[in-house]
Amino acid sequence: MTNKTILITGGTGSFGKEAIKQILPMNPAKLIIYSRDEFKQYELAEQYPEKDYPIHFVVGDVRDKDRLWRALDGVGYVIHAAAMKQVPACEYNPFEAIKTNVLGAQNLIECAIDRKVKKVIALGTDKQVNPINLYGATKLCAEKLFIAAHMLPGDTCFSVVRYGNVMASRGSVVPYFYECVEKRDPIPITDWEMTRFWITLPEAAQFVLQSLERMAGGEIFVPMLRTIRIVDLAAAIGGKRYPCRISGIRPGEKIHEVLISKDEVRLTRAVDGYFLIEPFSFPYKTTILTGEYESSRGGARLTIPQIRGILKKIAKG
């Protein structure tokens, strides 16, 4: 990142804020924050004034190809974090999700190639594996677009990072559970058996930046994540005896998530603490994945004390 120009789409979100913290110490030439929320940009500009930091704030939407093309002038690396992410919102506003998550991805691909960007890495999700909701389906389409884009003429490399739920990020259940405890309301649990893959925000940002450095193009990077039962998360926040209620599954929700599908296992290799799904042959010293990293139902499970420890660490910042 040293002396490089980096652009983050959706850079005012939870991921973007953490990425800023990790990128600035690397002394970039310029860090461009591209997003459509001018108030969040104002808040970040108060924290990182352009006269003191190599940060440039650009109001724009990935749906607007002309604006995106202009913003990519001189950019060497792009982290694509812009997306409609809330499952219910995507279910009730389907074409809005398509315009942002799919058409926005294609706009970025075409502009990045035209602007001769060196590398583009896109953020994916476990919900795009065997999707049952529109959010997952749009992210799967976007992933296919980015992987296919690596085959297009030009020198731009495209890759994808795929991980699970980000603990305590904006819109996650963690702040909502804390709010329920503060109000002394029962914590709503969708299903007693529900599990998720979990990663902290600093871990997610670090993994994306590491993958940006490692990528050769066309790969999907998947961190080796631990899993969590939602009832254990509720117990870690409210206590084992805190009242919970079954709220029922929401439209588009799964009981268990998947990070690598059964069909992808044969293309997956284990590399130094993460998985690499590769459609082509790359010069990595790897071991072919022999088991399945399929469902959050199994795998390494976080205990209630471990969850509490992570939450305390997050609260301390």
Q: Are 44 and 37 contacting, i.e. CB atoms less than 8 angstroms apart? A: no
Beta carbons of 162 and 259 less than 8 angstroms apart: yes
Closest CA to 159 of 202, 222, 110, 201: 222
309 vs 294: CA distance, rounded Å: 26
What gap in Å lies between CA 286 and CA 2, rounded to an integer? 29
Task: Give the residue numbers marked as catalytic.
Answer: 127
User: What is the 8-class DSSP label of residue 303?
Assistant: P
Closest residue by Cα to residue 315 from 230, 17, 307, 228: 307
DSSP assignment of 198-252 equals EEEHHHHHHHHHHHHHH--SS-EEEE--EEEEHHHHHHHHH-TTS-EEE--PPTT
Quick one: which H or E segment has residue 276? Answer: strand 274-277
How far apart CA 277 and CA 223 sit, in angstroms, is 11
Name residue 125's beta-bridge partners. Answer: 163
**Alpha-carbon torsion 244, 247, 251, 256, what sign?**
positive
Decide if 75 contacts 69 (C-beta within 8 A).
no
Joined tokens for residue 197: 């893959």
Q: Is 283 exposed, middle or buried (0-12, 13-18, 19+ CB in 10 A)?
A: exposed
What is each CA distance from 239 to 82, 193, 229, 233, 307, in whole angstroms?
35, 18, 14, 9, 12
